[in-house]
């Protein structure tokens, strides 16, 4: 069974500083990997995804993530954080389950606080 670990429950950075959110996964085959962001009281918005090809993927809002198979990681980065980036971030790995339904296994999330 697949699993996702986000080792940092809470991260605080200053506005304008760089950001890296860690994600490690366990999956037997080539994974589908995702990062979602959730603002308070809102649904989840897709930031970016990796299926195959270039291991550095670009997403919305200036985010990028790098897939490293050797480290089973898919860390999310942003060179300069904005106050509006404060939210909870979820990493997820996708699988093909019975019935052809794609399911995601989510990490427990990382809460990002941005200081002025």
Partner 1 sequence: SQTIHQWPATLVQPVGSPLSLECTVEGTSNPNLYWYRQAAGRGLQLLFYSVGIGQISSEVPQNLSASRPQDRQFILSSKKLLLSDSGFYLCAWTANIGNTIYFGEGSWLTVV
Residues in contact with partner 1 by CB under 8 A are 32, 34, 36, 41-46, 49, 51, 90, 94, 98-104, 106-109
Smallest separation (angstroms) from partner 1 to the CB of 16: 29
**57: which 2 tokens?**
């993927």
Smallest separation (angstroms) from partner 1 to the CB of 80: 27
How far apart, in whole angstroms, are the C-alpha atoms of residue 34 and residue 1? 17
Smallest separation (angstroms) from partner 1 to the CB of 32: 5
> Which lies closer to partner 1 via its Cβ, residue 27 or residue 106?
106
> Which lies closer to partner 1 via its Cβ, residue 51 or residue 83?
51
> Which lies closer to partner 1 via its Cβ, residue 70 or residue 100?
100
The residue with tokens 């080539």 is 30
Look at the alpha carbons of 52, 49, 72, 70 in this order and tell me if their dihedral is positive or negative: positive
Return the half-sphere exposure (C-beta side, CA atoms, 13 A cut-off) of residue 30: 5
Contacts of 28 (CB under 8 A, 6+ apart): 2
Smallest separation (angstroms) from partner 1 to the CB of 65: 14
């Amino acid at each position: 069974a697949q699993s996702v670990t986000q080792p940092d429950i809470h991260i605080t950075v200053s506005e304008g500083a760089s950001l890296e959110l860690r994600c490690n996964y366990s999956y037997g085959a080539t994974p589908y990997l995702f990062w979602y962001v959730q603002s308070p009281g809102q649904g989840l918005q897709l930031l970016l995804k990796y299926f195959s090809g270039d291991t550095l993927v670009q997403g919305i809002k200036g985010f990028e993530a790098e897939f490293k198979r050797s480290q089973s990681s898919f860390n999310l980065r942003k060179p300069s954080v904005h106050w509006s980036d404060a939210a909870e971030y979820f990493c997820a790995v996708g699988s093909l389950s019975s019935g052809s339904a794609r399911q995601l296994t989510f990490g427990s999330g990382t809460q990002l606080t941005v200081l002025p």
